[in-house]
């Protein structure tokens, strides 16, 4: 008999096959056609059959075999509490730069889970180091065509990588990339760049070796290391200053131009913070090749501006404000100049619109953490309460809220924040289009988040991805 790793149903979609079968939240799917299930990947392939025998355990512990026929491409129509039924594979590394190790104490337990699971890489674009993978994993990648994956390379120098990850197996990065390629998988790559450690000549080597792995290597993202005030690791890490960021941009641009000449795309992308630090504008849209690493924060600012421009072009006529409207826009310090520039366009179009950008210093994690998505409710509220003057509304960065929930990093609810500012309407903003609509038509703007869904697999990636605005 197969070992049961129950897939626990969180939500049943209206009008779905699951609703027709009278499945309800809390039901556990144990087996399909005699096959035990490890994750939604197994379930997806098992459900490809047209005749299904599904073993279900109900909330009262009773097990039922449900037999039915379906169209070959018909989905079950449920959301699970976790996408991996047999448990998330935890990270076995102790990286110099691990952000999870820099989380503030006494925060929700899920923030301290260090996942390093190739299945979540395939399903959600999480970056994995592959140090906990073996032959069976690569065979499964080949069997189920799990591609693309997202790989944290960090550097291609095997000794340095083992040192940075504090894991002897990390030295096998080239061999493991070979295994991925032999399994027929393509992959995106990432480097968390640490000043004086894997930059300079080491970055040059990493770029050279990853570029040589095209076409299996699909892209290379380089992001600056982030350090919070809670870091206790004894290894000295240094963040980039303006001069160091400019030097990285100049070095990488040489490779970008070379690859653009070779195949008409950029391939290598820098995190927006490098441009902010160096005081340079973010690259144009064409530079990002369709934004293949947007969830990694690569090109978020340019994408945000594009969304604004697209929404602006779609609305040639703008309703006027008959009375003055005063809005406060909460943002991280890094992207504040961009938010100000766009706000100025809105003010130019509306004589009665007054926008105040509120760059919030991150006292919770430390002021070196400057992105909007890692702001806490306490820091936001403290910054707003220090300001005088009229305020009809407050725009907050939606990435600061947990996906699918109106909860900030410090477990304060959006409703609690609204209660603290009863005189002002508070609305989240996610995209540039949201920002445009909020400023241009504040009386009618409302961001509805109740319909959002997300697999509740309790990963810190829910907070560390998409956090730029």
Q: Which residue has the tokens 């959600």?
A: 124
Q: What is the pLDDT of residues 294-318, one digit of tens each?
A: 988 899 999 999 999 999 999 877 7
Q: Which uninterrupted H or E stretch holds 79?
A: strand 78-80
Q: Buried b / exposed e across 353-381, counting CB within 10 Å, b at 16+?
A: bbbebbbbebebbbeebbbbbbbbbebbb
Q: HSE on the CB side for 379, CA within 13 Å?
A: 28
pTM for this predicted structure: 0.88
Place of tokens 């003010």: 347
Which two tokens mark 194? Answer: 């640490």
How many whole angstroms separate alpha carbon 355 and alpha carbon 321? Answer: 13
Query: Would 7-80 and 100-296 be classified into the same CATH topology?
Result: no
Domain 100-296 listed as CATH 3.80.30: yes
User: At a CB cut-off of 8 Å and minimum separation 6, what does 126 contact?
Assistant: 115, 117, 120, 150, 459, 461, 465
What is the residue-level pLDDT of the chain in tens, covering all 469 positions? 356 789 999 999 999 999 999 999 999 999 999 999 999 999 999 999 999 999 999 999 999 999 999 998 899 999 999 999 999 998 989 999 988 888 877 666 556 678 899 999 999 999 999 999 999 999 999 999 999 999 999 999 999 999 999 999 999 999 999 999 999 999 999 999 999 999 999 999 999 999 999 999 999 999 999 898 989 999 999 999 999 999 999 999 999 999 999 999 999 999 999 999 999 999 999 999 999 999 888 999 999 999 999 999 998 777 789 999 999 999 999 999 999 999 999 999 988 999 999 999 999 989 888 889 889 999 999 999 999 999 999 999 999 998 777 999 888 999 999 999 999 999 999 999 999 999 999 999 987 655 443 332 223 333 333 444 4
The CATH H-level (homologous superfamily) assignment of domain 7-80 is PDZ domain (2.30.42.10)
Cα distance between residue 288 and residue 309, in whole Å: 17
Q: Where are the domains of the chain?
A: 7-80, 100-296, 306-455
At 462 the pLDDT is 31
The Cα–Cα gap between 462 and 131 comes to: 22
Task: Compute the distance between CA of residue 342 and CA of residue 216 in angstroms, rounded to an integer.
Answer: 39
Q: What is the topology classification, in CATH, of domain 306-455? A: Rossmann fold (3.40.50)
């Amino acid at each position: 008999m197969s070992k049961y790793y129950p897939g626990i149903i969180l939500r049943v979609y209206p009008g779905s096959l699951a609703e027709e079968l009278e499945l309800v939240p809390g039901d556990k799917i144990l087996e399909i056609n005699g096959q035990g299930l490890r994750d939604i990947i197994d379930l997806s392939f098992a459900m490809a059959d047209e005749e299904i025998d599904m073993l279900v355990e109900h909330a009262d512990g009773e097990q039922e075999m449900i037999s039915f026929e379906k169209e070959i491409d018909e989905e079950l129509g449920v959301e699970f509490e976790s996408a991996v039924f047999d448990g998330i594979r935890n990270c076995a590394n102790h990286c110099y730069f691990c952000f999870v190790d820099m989380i503030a104490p006494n925060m929700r337990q899920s923030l301290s889970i260090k996942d390093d699971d190739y299945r979540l890489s395939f399903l959600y674009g999480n970056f994995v180091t592959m140090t906990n993978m073996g032959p069976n994993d690569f065979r499964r990648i080949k069997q189920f065509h799990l591609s693309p994956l997202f790989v944290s390379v960090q550097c291609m120098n095997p000794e340095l990588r083992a040192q940075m990850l504090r894991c002897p197996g990390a030295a096998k990065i080239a061999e493991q990339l070979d295994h991925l390629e032999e399994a027929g998988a393509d992959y995106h790559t990432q480097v968390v760049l640490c000043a004086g450690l894997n930059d300079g000549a080491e970055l040059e080597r990493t770029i050279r070796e990853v570029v040589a792995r095209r076409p299996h290597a699909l892209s290379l993202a380089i992001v600056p290391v982030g350090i919070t005030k809670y870091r206790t690791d004894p290894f000295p890490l240094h963040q980039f200053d303006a001069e160091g960021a400019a030097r990285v941009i100049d070095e990488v641009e040489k490779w970008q131009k070379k690859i653009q000449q070779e195949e008409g795309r950029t391939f290598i992308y820098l995190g927006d913070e490098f441009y902010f630090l160096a005081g340079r504008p973010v690259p144009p849209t064409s530079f990002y090749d369709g934004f293949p690493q947007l969830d990694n924060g690569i090109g978020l600012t340019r994408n945000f501006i594009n969304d604004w421009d697209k929404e602006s072009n779609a609305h040639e006529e703008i309703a006027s404000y008959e009375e003055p409207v005063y809005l406060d826009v909460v943002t991280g310090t890094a992207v504040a100049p961009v938010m100000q520039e766009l706000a100025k366009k809105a003010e130019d179009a509306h004589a009665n619109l007054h926008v105040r950008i509120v760059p919030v210093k991150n006292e919770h994690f430390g002021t070196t953490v400057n992105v909007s998505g890692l702001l806490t409710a306490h820091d936001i509220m403290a910054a707003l309460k220090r300001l005088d003057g009229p305020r009809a509304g407050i725009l907050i960065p939606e990435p600061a809220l947990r996906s699918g929930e109106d909860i900030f990093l410090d477990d304060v609810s959006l409703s609690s924040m609204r209660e603290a500012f009863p005189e002002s309407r508070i609305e989240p903003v996610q995209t540039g289009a949201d920002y445009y609509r909020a400023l241009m038509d504040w009386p009618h703007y409302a961001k509805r988040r109740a319909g959002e869904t997300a697999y509740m697999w309790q990963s810190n990636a829910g907070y560390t991805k998409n956090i730029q605005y």
